[in-house]
Amino acid sequence: MNDLSGRTGLVVGVANKRSLAWAIAQAAAGAGAQLVLTFQNERLEENVRGLAATLPRAPLLLPCDVTSDEQVKALFTTIEQEVGSLDFLIHGAAFAPREALTAPFTQTSREAFHVALDVSAYSLVALAAGAAPLMAKRGGGSIVTLTYLGSERVVPNYNVMGVAKAALEASVRYLAADLGAHNIRVNAISAGPVKTLAAAGIAGFSSMLQLYRERTPLKRNIEGAEVADMALFLLSHASRAVTGEVLFVDAGFHAMGM
């Protein structure tokens, strides 16, 4: 049911081997998909190229700083020229300045707020707009982004990222409404804490992992592969009637009151 043979997908947000976007890329490639991977800058290009070399089929590698309209436009122009169309988009881009994750939320600067919302939320809108015409060529497609419970509840030291994730989840719903007529589905996965590059910027992250182990119904933390499995479901024919949703992969933590 999760066979992606003959499908082509764009994965944005791979930084290193611990990235959830990378776990999804590996799973999608293993399911038969041909991938396009992006890298933000020259510093991350080497990491992405090294990871790409381990995939069963060589992906197309392209630069894309999601804060640049010119680079986003160039990305989809090249994809159309080189690949022709797209079946899915994985959005894993997220960032907030470190000081915005350590100082009290009331001290969030205008610039930090702008950066967090631009990279973590607006980038989904920009990428969806670019991908939609290429998905329409295929008769539809699936867009999946990554979020976290901090969008709904206060999580210590998550601060402006919680606000950005709330905006991201609202964007999922509005994009689902806009693109549904073209048979393009838009969903989010709300993952439990995983040791990624982004998580390293959150103070007290080790304590968060311990709290999850103690309080989740499953009494454990999650793994990137479990997020990837949910993504495969959302990319597959099995989820053809699912759109505008936030699906939790957090060992049940979100269901608990205390």
Q: Which long-range contacts (CB under 8 A, 24 or more apart) does 71-79 make?
A: 72/126, 72/127, 72/130, 73/130, 75/38, 75/130, 76/130, 76/131, 76/133, 76/134, 79/10, 79/36, 79/134
Instruction: Give whichever of 200-204, 209-213, 230-234 has the largest mean pLDDT.
Output: 230-234
Q: How many residues does the chain have?
A: 258
pLDDT band for position 128 (50/70/90)?
A: very high
| 77 class by beta-carbon count within 10 Å (0-12 exposed, 13-18 middle, 19+ buried) | exposed
What's the pLDDT score for residue 199? 64
Helix (H, G, I), strand (E, B) or coil at 144: strand
CA 144 – CA 175 distance, rounded (Å): 11
Q: Does position 144 have pLDDT exceeding 70, yes or no? A: yes
pLDDT band for position 5 (50/70/90)?
A: very high
Give the residue among 51, 54, 30 at the shortest CA–CA distance from 39: 51
Specify the pTM: 0.95
Query: Under a CB-based contact definition with an 8 Å cutoff, are residues 165 and 149 in contact?
Result: no
User: Phi and psi (nearest 5°) for 218?
Assistant: -85, -5
Q: Does position 202 have pLDDT exceeding 80, yes or no? A: no
Question: What tokens were used for 243?
Answer: 């759109």
Residues near 182 by beta carbon (within 8 Å), at least 6 away in sequence: 132, 135, 136, 140
pLDDT band for position 108 (50/70/90)?
A: very high
- Mean pLDDT in the chain? 95
CA 88 – CA 65 distance, rounded (Å): 19
The enclosing H or E element of 203 equals: none
pLDDT band for position 1 (50/70/90)?
A: low
Give the residue among 187, 106, 113 at the shortest CA–CA distance from 144: 187
Residue range 41-73, pLDDT digits in tens = 888 899 999 999 999 999 999 999 999 999 999
Active-site residue set: 148, 158
> What is the average pLDDT across 151-176?
97
Residues near 199 by beta carbon (within 8 Å), at least 6 away in sequence: 193, 205
Q: Which domains does the chain have, with CATH numbers?
A: 8-247 (3.40.50.720)
Give the residue among 102, 108, 113 at the shortest CA–CA distance from 204: 102
Q: Does position 153 have pLDDT exceeding 80, yes or no? A: yes
Question: What tokens were used for 229?
Answer: 């499995």
What's the pLDDT score for residue 195? 76
Residue range 239-253, pLDDT digits in tens = 999 999 999 999 999
| DSSP state at residue 152 | T
CA 258 – CA 256 distance, rounded (Å): 6
> What is the average pLDDT across 61-86?
97
